[in-house]
Every structure is written in structure tokens, then in C-alpha cells.
């Protein structure tokens, strides 16, 4: 019996090395574009970046000044849409994962959720225009746009919440039931505390989606330009129209002639950094909640 390397062994070792390099390369190729994009954006936007850029109104027909109304508008749209979508989405996911049994009716709901998640945002925009702006007489407003964004994010929130709930082992639920807990007591006492990190992550990831989409809001509430008092937080009302970062970026990049290039790049930096900051916050939150987990 010898343990020297055979021909087959050498071949396996070589394949192993190649496979590792290929997979590593693929993984790195995911990081590279992100670094390049963010680096390029910062480089181009550098001359204009300042606190004043964030809090000033656009001036000279949007060829100068800041992005305050767009930043505030995006904040309003994202916050209100998540305030609407989160309770509905979480409750629906709780029903689907904790209460419903597998039958044709729940399978139909699953099918609807999956298909809604795949509907293009421009279709959501048309739906929002018809349902909220026209049928519900909300007009083109922050409320109508937020509702449209809520409809768009809802299926994804349902799916991610459901997945988080399903990751709580069944044995924990049975342990609860066997000592006489009701379903709701079990959900509140055991299931939600142990899935809250996953639920929150799923919701927070939708912040970036809601902030980034242009189509759903451009028919339902976002406008090219809206004058509001600089630096005031409660400058918009629910039934006002508003500006938004994504829309503003589209406007000054394509609709306004002779805009200095630093301006759209500065807007893009704010949009990207907002998204990255929110994602980083969600990672930190998840790490903190995980550290408190008792299993």
C-alpha cells in the first residue's frame, strides 16, 4: 500500500485549482464594477459635492444649485410607501406561512405574489395612474406615488418576510403549541423575535428599490420642478406633487440642455450613497439582532 500521488490524483488536484481560480474570478468580477462605478461617480461629482448641494434649491433652470426638493421628495416617497407596505406585507406573510394550509386558495395567493414581483415597474406606474390618480381621485400626489411604490414593493416584502418566518424551525412552534400556546402567542413569543432580523433586512432592501425607481412615480406624483422652502423638513403635504432624486437625475441628464456634468453626477452620488448607507445600516442591524439570538 503506497500513498504516492497517482495520475488521477494529479488531475483532480489540477482541476480543483482551476475551479477555485475561476470561481474566485467570478466573485471578484462582481465587486469590480461596483468599485469602478462608485469611484467614477465620485470623481466626476467632486467639484460640486458639499453640504450646500444637499440643502439648496436648484437654480438657473436646474443648471446650478442643489437637490434639496428631490432629496426630500425621495425621503417622503420611500418612507410613506414602506409605512403602507410593511404592515400589509408582514401580515400577509404571517398568514401565508403560519396560518394557511396548502390548498388551491393559498397556492393561488402564492402565484399572485410571485407574478406581482415580476411585473415591470412601468406597468405598476400605469396601474397607479389608473387606480390611485384617476379612479381614487388622489390626483398626481405624493400619496398616489407612494401607494404605487407600495404596490410595487409589497410582493417582495411578502416573499422575503415569508422566507424569514420559514427559517424558524418547526420544532420551536411545536414546543410552544404543546404547552398550550395559541398560534398568535407562538408567533408573537417565538416566531417573530427569531425572524425579525430577516424580516427587517427584506424591508430595508426595498428602500433602495423604492428610491431608485423612476417609472412608477413619474406618472403618479413626481414632477420636474417644484419650489419648496430650503432646509425645511415638512415642506411637502400628502397631496402635493414632489421632486425625487431618480426623476431629477433623469430630468437634468436628458431634458435640460447645457447642464454642467458635475450636477447629474452629484445627484447620482447622493442616490447611490443613500442606498449604500441604508444597506450598510441593515447589515449592522442584522448583525446586532443575530448577536442577541439564543440559538
Partner 1 sequence: MANEPKIVIEHFHASFDGKPVLRGLNLQVFPRERLALIGPAGGGKSTLLRSLNRMNDLAADFARQGRILVDGVDILGPHIDIALLRRRLGMVTPMPNPLPCSVEENITLTLKMAGIRDAHRVVERLETGLKNVHLWEEVKDRLAQPALHLNNRQQQLLCLARVLALEPEVLLLDKPCSGLDPVAANRFEDVLADLKSRYTIILATNDSKQAARASDRTALIMAGELVEWGSTHDLFFNPANAATKAYITGRF
DSSP 5: P
Q: Using the minimum distance from each CB to partner 1, give the nearer residue, 164 or 263.
A: 164
257 part of the interface to partner 1, by CB under 8 A: no
Q: How far is CA 243 from the centre of its chain?
A: 19
CB of 31 to partner 1, least distance (A): 35
| Residue 64, SS3 per DSSP | strand
Please provide the DSSP assignment of 137-169 as one string.
---SSHHHHHHHHHHHHHHHHHHHHHHHHHTS-
Query: CB 66: neighbour CB atoms within 10 A?
Result: 23
225 part of the interface to partner 1, by CB under 8 A: no
User: Of the candidates 219, 83, 93, which has an alpha carbon nearest to the alpha carbon of residue 155?
Assistant: 93
User: Out of 31, 180, 233, 257, which residue is the one contacting partner 1 (CB under 8 A)?
Assistant: 180
The stretch near partner 1 (CB under 8 A) out of 29-37, 63-71, 177-185, 214-222 is: 177-185
172 part of the interface to partner 1, by CB under 8 A: yes
DSSP 57: P
176 part of the interface to partner 1, by CB under 8 A: yes
The stretch near partner 1 (CB under 8 A) out of 49-57, 176-184, 200-208, 251-259 is: 176-184
Q: How far apart are CA 230 and CA 100, in angstroms?
A: 50
Q: Using the minimum distance from each CB to partner 1, give the nearer residue, 60 or 101.
A: 101
Map residues 130-169 to x or -, x wherever contact with partner 1 holds by CB under 8 A. ----------------------------------------
Question: Exposed e or buried b for every residue in 78-88, given b needs 16+ CB within 10 A?
Answer: bebbbebbbee
Q: Using the minimum distance from each CB to partner 1, give the nearer residue, 16 or 174.
A: 174
101 part of the interface to partner 1, by CB under 8 A: yes
User: Of the candidates 61, 75, 60, 68, which has an alpha carbon nearest to the alpha carbon of residue 230?
Assistant: 68
User: Out of 22, 112, 123, 175, which residue is the one contacting partner 1 (CB under 8 A)?
Assistant: 175
C-alpha cell at 4: 504516492
Binding site residues, partner 1, CB under 8 A:
101-102, 171-172, 174-182, 185, 189-190, 194, 293-295
Amino acid at each position: 500500500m503506497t500513498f504516492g500521488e497517482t495520475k488521477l490524483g494529479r488531475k483532480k488536484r489540477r482541476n480543483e485549482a482551476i475551479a477555485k481560480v475561476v470561481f474566485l474570478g467570478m466573485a471578484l468580477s462582481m465587486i469590480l464594477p461596483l468599485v469602478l462605478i462608485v469611484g467614477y461617480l465620485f470623481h466626476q461629482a467632486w467639484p460640486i459635492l458639499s453640504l450646500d448641494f444637499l440643502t439648496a434649491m436648484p437654480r438657473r433652470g436646474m443648471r446650478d444649485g442643489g437637490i434639496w426638493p428631490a432629496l426630500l421628495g425621495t425621503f417622503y416617497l420611500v418612507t410613506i410607501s414602506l409605512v403602507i407596505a410593511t404592515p400589509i406585507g408582514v401580515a400577509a406573510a404571517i398568514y401565508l406561512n403560519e396560518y394557511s394550509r396548502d390548498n388551491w386558495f393559498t397556492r393561488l395567493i402564492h402565484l399572485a405574489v410571485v407574478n406581482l414581483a415580476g411585473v415591470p415597474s412601468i406597468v405598476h406606474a400605469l396601474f397607479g395612474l389608473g387606480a390611485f390618480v384617476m379612479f381614487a381621485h388622489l390626483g398626481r400626489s405624493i400619496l398616489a406615488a407612494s401607494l404605487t411604490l407600495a404596490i410595487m414593493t409589497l410582493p417582495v416584502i411578502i416573499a422575503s418576510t415569508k422566507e424569514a418566518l420559514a427559517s424558524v424551525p418547526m420544532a420551536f412552534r411545536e414546543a410552544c403549541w404543546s404547552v398550550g400556546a395559541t398560534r398568535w402567542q407562538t408567533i408573537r413569543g417565538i416566531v417573530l423575535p427569531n425572524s425579525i432580523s430577516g424580516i427587517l433586512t427584506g424591508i430595508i432592501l426595498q428602500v433602495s428599490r423604492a428610491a431608485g425607481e423612476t417609472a412608477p412615480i413619474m406618472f403618479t406624483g413626481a414632477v420636474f420642478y417644484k419650489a419648496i422652502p430650503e432646509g425645511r423638513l415638512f415642506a411637502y403635504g400628502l397631496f402635493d406633487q414632489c421632486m425625487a432624486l431618480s426623476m431629477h437625475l433623469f430630468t437634468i441628464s436628458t431634458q435640460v440642455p447645457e447642464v454642467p456634468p458635475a450636477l447629474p453626477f452629484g445627484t447620482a452620488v447622493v442616490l447611490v450613497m443613500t442606498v449604500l448607507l441604508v444597506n450598510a445600516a441593515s447589515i449592522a442591524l442584522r448583525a446586532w439582532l443575530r448577536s442577541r439570538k439564543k440559538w
